[in-house]
Structure 1
Amino acid sequence: MKSPVVKRSIVVDGHKTSVSLEEAFWTGLRGISSLRNMTVSELVSEIDHNRQQSNLSSAIRLFVLGYFKNLAAATQLEQKAPAPPSHPAMGREL
């Protein structure tokens, strides 16, 4: 049976390293880097600089998870927010 973890080589701060992640995390990482107009290597370098964990793969997983959790929370807040009150004159013909 094929492992769901995919190992890829990536350049982090000018140094080649390999990172093992599930395909869903690679897909999320590519999507986030695209939205930020940066390469995956640039985003992983940023994650590497800011990580608290000793393992880069874990730091990447937590970053991707946090990104999508924040996105889901923001979407939920938007859906629950009441519509802004309309002006009394709006909707009436002049």
Structure 2
Amino acid sequence: MKRSFRLAGHRTSIALEAEFWRALEGAAERRGKTLAELIEDLDAGRAETALPLASTLRVFALNERG
């Protein structure tokens, strides 16, 4: 499932499986953020890892589920 977001002033589409989107939505809700805000935060922090954004989101979602 693809969703589009504006990150750093640019429009981008991210394709993830529905289970990952659900985990990310739950994580955003627990933090009192929108999904877009959570993704912006994760995008900003991934410069150190050089991972693609979709991979960063999947790893984050897996870690959230414990």
Confirm or deny a common fold (TM above 0.5): yes
Partner of 1:38: 33
Secondary structure at the aligned position of 1:38 is classed as coil
Unaligned segments of structure 2, at least 5 residues: none
Mapped to 2, the partners of 1:45 and 1:65 lie a distance apart of 18
> Offset at 1:16?
1.6
Partner of 2:44: 49
Matched, 1:64 2:61: yes
Mapped to 1, the partners of 2:18 and 2:6 lie a distance apart of 18
Q: Over alpha carbons, which structure has the higher Rg?
A: 1
State the identity %: 38
Q: Is the 8 A contact 1:12 1:42 kept in 2?
A: no
Q: Of Structure 1 and Structure 2, which has the larger fraction of its residues in helix?
A: 2
Q: Deviations 1:39-81 (Å, cap 9, x if unpaired)?
A: 1111001111112133100000001111221xxxxxxxxxxxx
Mapped to 1, the partners of 2:9 and 2:34 lie a distance apart of 13
More relative contact order in 1 or in 2 (CA 8 Å, sep 6+)? 2
Mapped to 2, the partners of 1:18 and 1:60 lie a distance apart of 13
- Equivalenced residues, count: 64
Mapped to 1, the partners of 2:63 and 2:27 lie a distance apart of 12
- What RMSD over aligned residues (CA atoms) do the two structures have, in Å? 1.2
Unaligned segments of structure 1, at least 5 residues: 1-5, 70-94
